Amino acid sequence: MTSKSAQRLNRLFDKLERRIPTAAADWLARLRRPGARWVRIPLGILLVLGGIFSFLPVLGLWMLPLGLLLLALDLIFLQSPVNSAILRGGRWWTTWRRKRRDRKQNR
């Protein structure tokens, strides 16, 4: 039986797969398979390291959350913090967009 955090993480990944382009969603679905663990963990570590060194020209800050998401699939202690960060970030994004929209309508 999977934990509540793992179920929530899977739902968040499903939602992400529906929102991104088909090619990227297929790639992500292949990475989520249980047999891809040996690809997922090193890739997650590389993405986190790339996100840390985002001040370099080729690397970007977008790599850090993606790497943490991939690592959270296999590392149970990361599932709960990553879930809450995704949920809080989504709520913040929604409120920010609503405030921005309301400001534009009041002009």
CB within 8 A of 25, min separation 6: which ones?
A: 17, 18
Whole-angstrom distance, CA of residue 67 vs CA of residue 75: 12
1 pLDDT band (50/70/90 cuts)?
very low
Whole-angstrom distance, CA of residue 30 vs CA of residue 24: 10
Reported as a single tens digit per residue, the pLDDT across 7-34 is 888 888 898 889 889 998 999 899 999 8
43 pLDDT band (50/70/90 cuts)?
very high
Reported as a single tens digit per residue, the pLDDT across 88-100 is 988 998 999 999 8
Of 14-23, 58-67, 71-80, 87-96, where does mean pLDDT reach its minimum? 58-67
* Average pLDDT across the chain, whole number: 88
pLDDT > 70: percent of the chain: 98
- In the predicted model, is pLDDT for residue 104 greater than 50? yes
